[in-house]
Amino acid sequence: MNALRLIVLAVAALAAVFAAVFVRGAMQPAPAPAPVVAEQAAEPEVAQVLVAARDMSPSSRVTGADFRWADWPVEAVMPAFVTRDMRPGAMDEMSGAVTRAAFVEGEPILPGKLVQPGEAGFMAAVIDPGMRAVAVPISAESGAGGFILPNDRVDVLVTTSARDMGYISELLVENVRVLAIDQTYVDDGESVVLGSTATLELTPGQTRSVALGVAEGDIVLALRSVADRDGGPRLSEGETSEDPGPRREVRIIRYGAEQRVALGGTP
């Protein structure tokens, strides 16, 4: 065998080896890329904040069911918010309060928008818009023996003495809500309340009729049935809240002489 043939055979063998290596490498699967580890963002820190569980209008009396705890980002918690860490019993503590302003569902509860019984401004928050609170003197006899409680409905009468006629009882207003007896605002439903003053919720026109009645004689409150509370307060028949009625007078006796003095009204 000559040298040329040997060289050709050597080149062919090397080519075959390279081809085999190439084919083997091409048939092997490509190595999987290294997994990329994504860094997860840390969960934001939250606090439990007391919020309104429903929409509430001004002058609404609230209970614990009107509140709920909600998660709130710590960085968004304002100092005025009520948090569960600081006041875990806030729901029970605020039960019985009255709203000074409206709340919408999910709104954080601000204590300044609520007023508790006995605090300054409580009575003004209890009164319905457009109404007035008027205190009238009562006794155990004129207040249904102490069985008239806050939130009851009553009729207001005045008893006066009339010349040669003995006494006259006149109905002033009907279906009036009792706001308080003395300093008792909330009825516990278990005991009677004896007091010397009843605070009534009246329309502006009714306040004048009741004020005149207090000046004329003795006020008596007649307790109404729970089944007879429909509608708002009413003046006596023939009168309206805009027109409190005819002029009323008070008798003044000085040294045996009688004098009648008109208390406002239409002359």
Task: Kindly state the tokens that stand for 120.
Answer: 């300054």
The CATH number covering residue 110 comes to: 3.90.1210.10
Choose the most confident range, by mean pLDDT, from 104-113, 217-226, 244-253: 104-113
Regarding whether 147 and 78 lie in a shared domain, the answer is no
On the question of pLDDT at 21 being above 80, the answer is no
Regarding whether 161 and 102 lie in a shared domain, the answer is no
For the chain, give the percent of residues with pLDDT over 70: 67
On the question of pLDDT at 243 being above 60, the answer is no
For 100-115, what is the mean pLDDT?
Answer: 90
CA dist list (Å): 228 to 40, 136, 172, 180, 220? 65, 23, 18, 20, 19
The residue ranking higher by pLDDT, 145 or 52, is 52
Q: Specify the 3-state DSSP secondary structure of 250.
A: strand
Residue 236 lies in a domain: yes
DSSP H/E element including 123: helix 122-126
pLDDT of res. 223 = 87
Residue 249 lies in a domain: yes
pLDDT of res. 105 = 93
Q: Which residue do the tokens 């860094």 mark? A: 39
Q: Specify the 3-state DSSP secondary structure of 252.
A: strand
DSSP H/E element including 18: helix 3-27
Domain termination residue (choose one: 97, 124, 151)? 124
Regarding whether 229 and 159 lie in a shared domain, the answer is yes
Q: Specify the 3-state DSSP secondary structure of 207.
A: helix
The residue ranking higher by pLDDT, 231 or 17, is 17
CB 131 within 8 A of CB 139: no
Regarding whether 179 and 105 lie in a shared domain, the answer is no
On the question of pLDDT at 186 being above 50, the answer is yes
For 156-169, what is the mean pLDDT?
Answer: 78
Q: Are strands 249-254 and 132-137 parallel, antiparallel or unpaired?
A: unpaired
- pLDDT, tens digit (0-9, with 9 covering 90-100), for 56-96: 988 888 988 999 999 999 999 999 999 999 999 999 999 88
49 pLDDT band, cuts 50/70/90, is very high
Domain termination residue (choose one: 70, 103, 124)? 124
On the question of pLDDT at 263 being above 70, the answer is no
Residue 181 lies in a domain: yes
Choose the most confident range, by mean pLDDT, from 153-162, 240-249, 255-264: 153-162
Pick from 224, 212, 235: nearest CA to 151? 224
pLDDT of res. 12 = 75
pLDDT of res. 52 = 94
For 23-32, what is the mean pLDDT?
Answer: 65
Task: Kindly state the tokens that stand for 236.
Answer: 């006596």
Regarding whether 178 and 135 lie in a shared domain, the answer is yes
Q: Specify the 3-state DSSP secondary structure of 208.
A: helix
Other beta carbons less than 10 A from residue 251's beta carbon: 13
38 pLDDT band, cuts 50/70/90, is low
| Interatomic CA distance for residues 126 and 97, integer angstroms | 9
CA 12 to chain centre: 98
- Quick one: 66 exposed, middle or buried, by C-beta within 10 A (0-12, 13-18, 19+)? buried
On the question of pLDDT at 212 being above 50, the answer is yes
pLDDT of res. 215 = 86
pLDDT of res. 44 = 78
On the question of pLDDT at 191 being above 70, the answer is no
For 10-39, what is the mean pLDDT?
Answer: 69
Amino acid (1-letter code) at residue 66: D
Pick from 89, 91, 88: nearest CA to 51? 91
For the chain, give the percent of residues with pLDDT over 90: 16
Q: Which residue do the tokens 């075959």 mark? A: 16
- Quick one: 267 exposed, middle or buried, by C-beta within 10 A (0-12, 13-18, 19+)? exposed
Residue 81, domain extent: 46-124
On the question of pLDDT at 172 being above 80, the answer is yes
